[in-house]
Amino acid sequence: MRPSDHGVTQVENIRLEQSIHWLVVGLVAAVVYLLLAVAIQVFASLRGSPRPIPLLPTWLKIAVLAAVSSAAASKPVNAEKPQFCAVSDQPDDQQADIDDFVLAGSIAANAGFATLLLRRRLAQIRTRRFGSAERSCGSAAEEPVVKPMTIPEWSVLVQVLGPPVVVTARGERVTFEKGKALELLVWMTEHREVSTRSAARTALWDGMVKDSTFSNVVSEVRRSLNSSHPGDVEEWIPRTFTDELPLHPGVVTDAELLDIATKNFEMKREQSAMELTQRLSVVRNLPFSGADYAWADGEGITTSHVIKVVKAAVLLGEYAIENDDSELLFMATERGLRVLPGHEQLVSLRMRGHARGGNRTAIKYEWESYARAIAADPWAGAMPSSELENLARDLSQA
């Protein structure tokens, strides 16, 4: 053996011993970590912590595979292997075992690294695919595609934004001989989804009414609606053998139409401004005014209708301000103040409208009317808004 070959063999043996040494160290570290992880997990479970601890983390896998790969790389298999085996100081059997160990370690290391890379790639693909889906769903949730609501085709309009009145699509008024017949029709329009005979009797008569009396009232509603539509065969209140009390879909309320117009206006103002103007212009007074409908106040229906009118008035008033339409502005705000006198935002819009026209006297009058309305309202505490007062002063001096 040449001295140079002997030196190379010694260096390779040293590298192999070092690799095996670090491999053993890595395995020992893995076992120690495994024992610590199990102990920590047991204590965490006893304390009620649901967080799991990985028994074999990724960094430890990489370290072990790196040690195995280093061991494999330190003993290459090449064409000079027979010469190396021939000149090696180690026995042939021992040298063959080492070669088999190195080859197996190389295969294991490559397989391990391939597995890690495959898992990481699959995780990236999964994250990208699901992440994009979540982002698309999130964007869809942030910007939902909402279509305008369709105004229902109606034949009978029950006007509840003011004294209860029933009119046909031709503008003819429907009369009722009995006051309870009109109240029953109004109640049915406000409880369309839960309209039952027992509920109607409880709301209108506190449940203390004879079956014959209730049947006569229902028949009166049918006769009045049929007489207002001569020649039309419509079951305005279909007959049932159950507790249900259904109502024909062609019977709607002005509050329902106003609500639909308001929602459409919020989505597309230019296309729905005329419809909202028409629906708001027919508001006459406080909902159910002049009628002693205890169920409407007790169930919050009156308050709900007031809020609908005020919201529509504010939206249409702001739209009129932006388009410099004084006539539309004062009509919208006046209808809103009919149902809720002294509403600060509506009064503010009217003041701004007068200021644009240079009418300072009207600004002062709006403020005085607002102050009187607040003083006459026992719930307001007789304290006008200081912000509205400052606005009136600033607009008057501008």
Residue 275: name the closest of 286, 257, 261 by CA. 261
How high is the pLDDT of residue 88? 45
Copy the structure tokens of residue 283. Answer: 């508001």
Q: Distance (Å, rounded) from C-alpha 334 to C-alpha 340?
A: 10
Q: What's the rounded Cα separation, in Å, for the pair 286 and 106?
A: 88
| Dist. CA 383–CA 285, nearest whole Å | 25
Distance in angstroms (rounded) separating the CA atoms of residues 159 and 164: 6
The fold of the 156-253 domain, in CATH, is Arc Repressor Mutant, subunit A (1.10.10)
CATH of 254-397, one of 1.25.40.10, 3.40.50.10540, 1.10.1060.10, 3.60.15.10: 1.25.40.10
Residue 31: the pLDDT is: 74
The per-residue pLDDT for 309 is 97
pLDDT in tens, the chain (398 residues): 555 555 556 666 676 677 677 777 777 777 777 777 767 766 665 554 445 555 555 555 556 556 555 555 554 444 444 444 444 444 555 555 555 555 555 555 555 555 555 556 555 544 444 344 444 445 444 545 567 788 888 999 999 999 999 999 999 999 999 899 999 999 999 999 999 999 999 999 987 889 999 999 999 999 999 998 876 767 899 998 899 999 999 999 999 999 999 999 999 999 999 999 999 999 999 999 999 899 999 999 999 999 999 999 999 999 999 999 999 999 999 999 999 999 999 999 999 999 999 999 999 999 999 999 888 877 766 688 889 999 999 998 87
Which pair of structure tokens corresponds to residue 33?
A: 């970590």
| Bridge partner residues of 253 (DSSP) | 158
> DSSP letters of 260-273?
HHHHHHHH-HHHHH
Domain boundaries, the chain: 3-142, 156-253, 254-397
Tell me phi and psi for residue 158, to 5 degrees: -95, 110
> Do residues 197 and 210 touch, judged by C-beta distance below 8 A?
no
State how far the Cα of 94 lies from the Cα of 260, in Å rounded to an integer: 91
- Going from the C-alpha of 335 to that of each of 220, 268, 312, 314, 343, the distances in angstroms are 33, 22, 10, 10, 11
| Reported pTM | 0.63
Helix (H) or strand (E) holding 168: strand 165-168
pLDDT of residue 9: 66
Strand order through the sheet with 156-159: 165-168, 156-159, 251-253
Round to whole Å and give the CA distance between 69 and 110: 8
pLDDT given at position 77:
43
Q: What is the pLDDT of residue 104?
A: 55
Partners of 196 in the β-ladder:
244
CA distance 180 to 75: 104
